Amino acid sequence: MSEKKSKKKSGGGAAKAKRSGSDAFQTFDQRTIQEFKEAFSIMDQNKDGFIDKNDLRDMYAQLGQVVSDSTLEEMIKEAPGPINFTMFLQLFGDRLTGTDPEDVIVGAFKMFDKKDTGSITEEQLNRILTNKRGEPLDEEEIKAMYKGNPPISGGQVDYKAFAKLITTGAQDELNKE
């Protein structure tokens, strides 16, 4: 796809922030870039400006997850070079324009599904959504989520159905603007 379409207009700063050889800064609006900066900052545990295997291991540990070295290495190998913020943004730009965002969300939840059952516990979901390292949901936002009837049964969350609900709801919000 040579031309990238966006539902929102990019701010003037996006073009200014563009790096040579990368159109990632033009793919996202300024608000989205700021959200990615916050995510990058959370993932860059040692604050050296790069995300490496140890940063990822530490981030998962804070979420109560133990991830194998091979899994961490696979994640790092997705980048063609060291993962600084520009590379991080490019990776997400490529992923989001090359795949269904629903698949990206499912992939994120799948990392917590150690037995590949297609579900995580409701407790895990709440821990993920209220984690202080990111932008945690507050009590009102959690209540609003439950009003949307997430696919939870017997304490298990069908994360594939939940991802569909999230992306459908997000699309509805974009259409309102």
Domains 23-98 and 100-177 belong to one CATH topology? yes
**Domain at 23-98: CATH code:** 1.10.238.10
Of 169, 111, 109, nearest to 141 by C-alpha is: 169
pLDDT one-digit tens code per residue, 48-94: 999 999 999 998 888 888 989 999 998 898 888 999 999 988 887 76
More confident residue, 117 or 129: 117
**Domain at 100-177: CATH code:** 1.10.238.10
Average pLDDT, the chain: 78
Compute the residue count for the chain. Answer: 177
| pLDDT for the residue numbered 92 | 78
Provide CB contacts within 8 A for 117, sequence distance 6+.
none
Domain segments of the chain as ranges: 23-98, 100-177
pTM higher than the cut 0.85: no
